[in-house]
Amino acid sequence: METDLSELVHRIAHRLRHGYRHTLEPLGLSPGQGRALRVLAEAPEPLRMVQLAEALRIVPRSVTPVIDALEEAGLVRRQVDPANRRSTLLTLTERGREVYARVVEARKEAARELFSVLTPEQQAQLKELLSIVEESPFTL
């Protein structure tokens, strides 16, 4: 029986997530924490908790334990939003930026390992094809 495209993409994404999780373990981070660091590092300004939740595509109450753990590890700082004292702004600490750089490398390493069976030309072609799909206006 032939595997359909969606199942194949799902399986590969699962393997990539597993490899990413494995490379994050030495940093003491979960993939969700790594994603939160990425969003915060790439944000042009401090984010509110609700903005982080939206960027991560999770419900706001699910962000709290992620931020609690990152704050406890000294990677994220909470600050009262001066424009709205009921809101909390999130920023990376200097240590958070250092760890995020290692997270980026962990993610690249997981991808390098998974896609090492492809030639550089095949990897470039796959990247181009996936970019086309990602940029398409169709949503599910």
Q: Is the pTM for the entire model greater than 0.85?
A: no
CATH topology of domain 5-129: Arc Repressor Mutant, subunit A (1.10.10)
- Taking the alpha carbons at both ends of the chain, their separation in whole angstroms is 26
The answer to whether the CB of 95 falls within 8 A of the CB of 75 is yes
| Residue pLDDT, tens place only, 105-121 | 988 988 999 999 999 99
| Residue pLDDT, tens place only, 31-46 | 899 999 999 999 999 9
- C-alpha pair distances (Å), 22 with each of 28, 70, 73, 82, 101: 10, 18, 19, 39, 17
* Number of neighbours of residue 11 by Cβ within 10 angstroms: 11
The answer to whether the CB of 78 falls within 8 A of the CB of 88 is yes
Taking the domains of the chain in order of start, what are their residue ranges? 5-129
